[in-house]
Structure 1
Amino acid sequence: MNVSRDTPRGVLRPEIQALRALAVLLVLLFHFWPHRIPGGYVGVDVFFVISGFLITAHLVREVQKSGSVRLGAFWARRIRRLLPASLLVLVATAAAVFIWVPQLYWPQILREIAAATVYAENWQLAHDAVDYLAAENVQSPVQHYWSLSVEEQFYLVWPLLIVIAIMVARRIRQANPIGAIRVTLAVIVLASFAYSVYETSANGAAAYFVTPTRAWEFGAGALLATLPAFGRLSGDRTRAAVSWLGLLMIGVAAFALDAATTPFPGYAAALPVVGTLCAIWAGAPALRWSPLGLMKSAPVQKLGDWSYSVYLWHWPPIVIFALATGDKMTWPVKFLAIAGVVALAALTKRFVEDPVRFRAFAGGRRLWPQYGAAAVSMVMVLSVVFVGNQLLEQSSRANNSRLDQLLAGGTPCLGAEAMLAAERCADGPLGSQLYPEMSTLTKDTGSAYRCYDQKPAADLSSCRIGSQRPDATKVALVGDSHAAMLIPAIEGHLEAHNWTVDTYVARGCIWAKVDAADQADPCYARRHAMAQRLGTGPKYDLVIVTGRRSASGDRPTADGQIRGYLDAWQPVLERGTRIVVVADNPGLGEDDMSCLVDDAANGGDPTRCAVDRKAGLGTRDALADAARRTDGKVRVVDLTDLFCTETECPLVIGNVIVYRDSHHITATYARTLGPHLVERITGALAS
């Protein structure tokens, strides 16, 4: 086994502590100054290799001594080492969120705190990374727990694999169980690395977080721990050179890689991983020009000692400050925050980590008290999340109940109605209550996404809503997520107008003409299927189509988009089907929503928040432009007067919040638009 000849067994290795210090320093600087050290996130990869090496070294020693691994005792040690500080930071973070963070962000953050408590935050983030409805999620103050989740999953699975490898070795009469462990590790490293390369190129957003793409990094460190101590056969000069080389590779990765341009982990992760392996393999060669002097310095060793707690504490202040104030930290605030993080880490190490790790349950052979204490502690944190969610749920139910009463009563100043009676509604007769409640704003989608294709393909998903009478007007609603947001608007009025509506809504791909030469286009299959369905399938009386202004997936130029729409519509019009284009709603700038969030959280007046009309409508609506070129064959229904005055587009209209993000309207505002939308569609058809 690879144990440095300079450090007796059982003594903390200075190069390991130095690597920990370097890793947490890179992560810390990257998060506070991301543009200064663009690849500082590789510090996490350094931690992964160290963990794989140390844990496997311990397990291998146990196998050599007793022939197996005491799984219960191993997991109990991991619980004592990691859980106390981890749960402490989660509770402190939850308290800070309740005090300072606007309720809009509570549901997401509480969900992630729960995931972090059970060490599943990486899978939660991976899910959100590919979930269209989570695309507008903010960074949460516990997002950094993804790496701890990956690490805990390694600690759970890897000892089991060692036990299985030993059992297989015994069954096939393999004399050396360490050899069986090496083979198992080699297979895991190769398979995981291959998967990491593939998944990083195919699905980079989720690949960053999921455990299979990271397992090879732990496995590389683990494999090193099972190999003979080649360092003993090498001279100090060689080892010193390799040590410097390893540190240099980590440094190059930190400054040369960039999250915006470098797919990660994949191939790129090999640079910091191999660098860490070199530094561990080299050990602590005692030469004047070796890095040992730097590694053994008191500040470096102390930071390495505190690295776990520093990592836990460093991220919440960054996110909570931004969510609470809407501003970025200035340099003085950053230095103050870092000083606070280091102080908290030192206190956590002194009064939480060490007492639980070395003194609590000391000498006790019984494991159930340790597991019981862990379970109770985790349940307590989850209880905090539960209470927070219950408070939000109660408030939301009361808000929704009041909203339903207002909608049922035909309140004249609610939502879009207020735009048609601006003078009468100027005094705010409905008070200051906002609908929906801020805590549910981002999820206020109603039934919009019940039949929504996140990955458009030739297989068209559809829902049928409205009248079931045989003489009903057959309508197709076609478009992207903006078309989906019209479903809550129209569904309550379909029976009265005797409409049966089939929904064909999907992410990004607007209905347009396709040619055989476009088969490489990711939208080709769906557009072809839509052409077949609307052009040759059962005939619709009416097609309602809308989409986001300059929606992704369209042709590169506006004229190309318009021609594609016109060519797609022509065969449908020739069948006698009417087509109505609903002009898209205005859009917001990146910071416009912050006015609403900040005012709602700090007792301000959210109704003052608005976007300039020219800015909101500044992006070309190619669908509406195409319809206007058809000499009236395709009608345009424009609801701009229900979104904007002559000068601005308010974010709150008639006590209803209009937008749930920078370009989607809320289901609540859509419901208030409903009667006007259906009335204008029928009016356009009649004219």
Structure 2
Amino acid sequence: MSAPQRVSSFRGDLEGIRGIALVIILFTHLIEWPTGGFVALDVFFVLSGYLITGLLLREYRLTGTISLNGFYRRRIRRLMPSSMLVLVVTALAGLYIFIFSRAVSTLWDALWSVLLVSNWNFALNGTDYFATSLPQSPLLHFWSLSVEEQFYLFWPAIVLALLVLGAGVRHARRRSAGGPQSIRPVVVGIAVIGLLSFGWNLFQSDLNPQVSYLSTLTRIWELAVGALLCFVTPLAQKIPAALRPVLAWAGFAALLVVAFLYTPALHYPGYWCLVPVAATVLIIVAGIGGPSHLVITTNPVSRYLGKISYTSYLWHWPIFIFAGVLFGKESPIYLFASIPVSLAVAALTTRFIEDPIRHSNWLEPQKRSRGHRHHHRHRHHKANRQHGQRVKVSLITAGATLAVALIAVIGIAPQMQKSSIPVASAVGSGVSPTSTAAPGTDTIATEESRLSAAVSAGLNTADWPDDLTPALDKAIDSRAPQWVDDNCLDTSEDNYATCIYGDASLTKTAVLLGDSTAISYMPGLVPALNSLGYRVRTLTHGQCPFANVQVLGQAENGQAAPGFPGFCDDGRAWSIQKTLEIKPDLVVITDGEDQTGAMVVQGDDARLRAMQAGMEDSLTQLSSLTAQFSILASPPHAENVAECATRINHPSDCTSTIDDNWFKLLKVTKDAAASVAAAQNRTVPVIDSSLWVCSERSACPAIAGKTIIRADRTHLTRQFAAGLQDILKLEYQRILGVS
């Protein structure tokens, strides 16, 4: 087996396919369509493996070795200037736009990106790349760049070692420099690396999909596939000219199909990425040794997009994030200006930063020979002077930008922290959802009026109050203490004995069934029921509805998250059995609004019918109890204050409206309760919580008075939930018929 004589050359079609892949990514990241646009990253990985390995082999064929220093210098000139510029600008923008905690998080993300381990930072922190409902880092996209940079760091040494091994195998032939040499060890070594990575990818994708998606170990096989294509040149050159367009267009069609058919619910990469990898292989092979006539990639537009694809990828995500935060993801500016702005900024960066530095002699060793310098001066003096001027300007600009960034971090950050993290005031300052009236004088109507006044105050507040409770930076950490501090969200035999609230002298027992939305009521529900003589026991499970329906966990469609739906099915059965054993006096049930979107059953109407039947089934399983049943509706979803709040916007920018799905879910819940009540000759009241957190016009503010309502889109802050104590007490006094 001998080394290929021509392992790499410039290919306009490959530059064009980069442009097509870029467009797919841009639209997927902007509007989440096509749903499987993430497959474009597989294209980039395979192309990188092919092109970089080709360059290494070509250098070895020409010089008999691979200069690791030279390779790293070229990669630094190619990648570092633009990436450092984006990191500095993004970190600065975060400091001036984000609330302090998110700004600091962005700074840390920038640091990990500089260290080339961004993907491991996000993987170890439990980041879900597809969780677009959560606050996302404006540097999240650097994970894929870190994968490639880690590849660049180790791959040249691996290839060189394998080539040296091959040279040793053929040493007996005493070949001359540039003569035939064995590449079998190289091919076998790359294939083994690829197979090991692919095997780990299959295992990790089922075990932990979030980590698998971001991991270098599960992606290296895609780069290895591209590397192996460098050794098929002799065979690819024999492909008939008539067959080349067929292969190229088949690959392109396959790539488009999976881009539109795949969804984030897949356990990716797994087996699923074989299709986009194979599609990229077809496109590459079709153009080896002859034109593939894939005009969609060889036209000037696609090729130019491919030329600026690196800088476009760098800029697009932070621009999308900041545009979404500042203008809203439904605004025309976000929808129609984000992509053009990203491409324009990328084009300018390529022209004035990337190209001048990449073609300069920056980092190249200086020649010491006077004769060589004299010869070099006469041949390249003019070109070097031009390059030197460009590099000088670029480096001065980059240095000034970095200096400003450091000054901002060191000098401005402490003041920003003081101004962007309000000092929490005592509950009751301003308009608060907590009642201050004397016991016994309130009715449900007057308490709802008090809550309505707080909601109205939140809707009409022009600026973020200085004494918010909790502070904006602490909202995400202010979920119910029963969840965060006591670890009683997922109840099992291990924590069953400790997840009970109220003095042992209380003679009655209430159980709470449902998911994390149920437990978010606990700061107000526990004191309300304690005051009525009930100890409260949690029998909840995160992401698991009380209604007997199968759910997929975090996924909305497609495959289930690891352990689902079995985790919920087993947890529900255990909770119902425990409830039957306890024989409580009161059963409180809450299922979150998002459970309908996570069901195995597909179709909105089918899911609502299944939810009603599932609620009836679970309630029927408890029919032997004499307890009073009650269903406490979940708060309607709203904007995530940790994501939408900034230093330069207003509370009104975080106002949302109740989704129709919430009203439909409330209706089927009431229908299920009425059906069971009629069959069992009991009452099953459903408490409508919408007016506690939203106005009669279904407008849902981020704050009520001076209290932040939700820790995220779904769960109440512990401070706001505690303020619901009075209304919950009044509701259960009515339900239980006590005073």
TM-score range (shorter-chain normalised) is: 0.7 to 0.9
Aligned mate of 2:43, from 31, 41, 46: 46
User: 1:214 & 1:614 partners in 2: Cα distance?
Assistant: 38
Match of 1:89 in 2: 86
Deviations 1:57-89 (A, max 9, x none): 344566778988766665554334322211211
Match of 1:187 in 2: 192
For structure 2, the residue ranges without an aligned partner over 5 or more in a row are 173-180, 368-397, 436-446, 551-563, 600-606
- State whether structure 2 residue 616 is matched by structure 1 residue 563: yes
User: 1:550 & 1:529 partners in 2: Cα distance?
Assistant: 22
- State whether structure 2 residue 541 is matched by structure 1 residue 527: no
Shift of 1:672: 1.0
For structure 1, the residue ranges without an aligned partner over 5 or more in a row are 366-373
- State whether structure 2 residue 589 is matched by structure 1 residue 545: yes
Amino acid at match of 1:223: L
Match of 1:584 in 2: 633
Shift of 1:146: 2.9
Match of 1:619 in 2: 666
SS at match of 1:523: helix
User: 2:118 & 2:341 partners in 1: Cα distance?
Assistant: 27
Aligned mate of 1:323, from 322, 325, 344: 325
Match of 1:215 in 2: 220
Shift of 1:342: 4.1
Match of 1:306 in 2: 308
Q: Tell me: CA distance 1:141–1:29, structure 2 relative to 1, closer, same or farther (3 Å).
A: same
Deviations 1:141-168 (A, max 9, x none): 4343232122123234545655776899
Q: Tell me: CA distance 1:535–1:349, structure 2 relative to 1, closer, same or farther (3 Å).
A: same
Amino acid at match of 1:399: V
SS at match of 1:503: strand
Amino acid at match of 2:258: L
Deviations 1:39-66 (A, max 9, x none): 6544422221121123333445667789
Point out the more displaced range, 309-318 or 259-268: 259-268
Aligned mate of 2:540, from 505, 509, 527: 505
Alignment of 1:138-287 (within 5 A): 138=135, 140-159=137-156, 161-162=158-159, 178-196=183-201, 207-225=212-230, 227=231, 229-230=233-234, 234-235=237-238, 238=239, 240-241=241-242, 243-259=244-260, 261=262, 263=266, 265-281=269-285, 285=289
User: 1:632 & 1:389 partners in 2: Cα distance?
Assistant: 60
Match of 1:677 in 2: 728
Say whether the 8 Å CA contact 2:138–2:317 is kept in structure 1: yes
Deviations 1:372-420 (A, max 9, x none): xx9x9999979978989866754565333x2xxx22xx55831254744
Say whether the 8 Å CA contact 2:96–2:647 is kept in structure 1: no
Deviations 1:603-631 (A, max 9, x none): 47579876599975863335765785555
User: 1:425 & 1:329 partners in 2: Cα distance?
Assistant: 28
Point out the more displaced range, 50-59 or 436-445: 436-445
* Alignment: residue pair count: 652
Amino acid at match of 1:584: A
SS at match of 1:445: coil
SS at match of 1:211: coil
Q: Tell me: CA distance 1:357–1:278, structure 2 relative to 1, closer, same or farther (3 Å).
A: same
Match of 1:486 in 2: 521
Amino acid at match of 2:273: A
Amino acid at match of 2:709: V
SS at match of 1:55: helix
Match of 1:370 in 2: none
Deviations 1:301-350 (A, max 9, x none): 65544332232223433343333212557599847953762454344454
Alignment of 1:400-439 (within 5 A): 400=424, 402=425, 406-407=426-427, 410-411=428-429, 413-417=431-435, 419-421=448-450, 433=465, 434-439=468-473
Q: Tell me: CA distance 1:616–1:157, structure 2 relative to 1, closer, same or farther (3 Å).
A: farther
Aligned mate of 1:667, from 718, 726, 730: 718
Shift of 1:562: 3.7
Amino acid at match of 2:519: A
Say whether the 8 Å CA contact 1:306–1:346 is kept in structure 2: no
Shift of 1:545: 3.2
SS at match of 2:523: helix
User: 1:100 & 1:323 partners in 2: Cα distance?
Assistant: 9
Q: Tell me: CA distance 1:278–1:390, structure 2 relative to 1, closer, same or farther (3 Å).
A: farther
Q: Tell me: CA distance 1:634–1:104, structure 2 relative to 1, closer, same or farther (3 Å).
A: farther
TM-score for the superposition, normalised by structure 2: 0.69
Say whether the 8 Å CA contact 2:517–2:591 is kept in structure 1: yes
Shift of 1:277: 3.2
Aligned mate of 2:707, from 656, 663, 680: 656
User: 1:168 & 1:657 partners in 2: Cα distance?
Assistant: 64
SS at match of 2:622: helix
Q: Tell me: CA distance 1:378–1:550, structure 2 relative to 1, closer, same or farther (3 Å).
A: closer
Q: Tell me: CA distance 1:670–1:193, structure 2 relative to 1, closer, same or farther (3 Å).
A: same
User: 2:682 & 2:11 partners in 1: Cα distance?
Assistant: 79
RMSD across aligned positions (CA): 5.4
User: 1:628 & 1:466 partners in 2: Cα distance?
Assistant: 28
TM-score for the superposition, normalised by structure 1: 0.74
Match of 2:554 in 1: none
User: 1:488 & 1:22 partners in 2: Cα distance?
Assistant: 52
Say whether the 8 Å CA contact 1:2–1:228 is kept in structure 2: no
Point out the more displaced range, 470-479 or 520-529: 470-479
Q: Tell me: CA distance 1:99–1:566, structure 2 relative to 1, closer, same or farther (3 Å).
A: same
Say whether the 8 Å CA contact 2:608–2:665 is kept in structure 1: no
Deviations 1:243-266 (A, max 9, x none): 534531342134322355454544
User: 2:547 & 2:308 partners in 1: Cα distance?
Assistant: 58
Q: Tell me: CA distance 1:278–1:426, structure 2 relative to 1, closer, same or farther (3 Å).
A: closer
- Identity over aligned residues, as a percent? 25
- State whether structure 2 residue 499 is matched by structure 1 residue 464: yes
User: 1:388 & 1:457 partners in 2: Cα distance?
Assistant: 48
User: 1:611 & 1:625 partners in 2: Cα distance?
Assistant: 24
User: 2:525 & 2:657 partners in 1: Cα distance?
Assistant: 26
Q: Tell me: CA distance 1:286–1:633, structure 2 relative to 1, closer, same or farther (3 Å).
A: closer
SS at match of 2:539: strand
User: 2:55 & 2:450 partners in 1: Cα distance?
Assistant: 75
SS at match of 1:477: strand
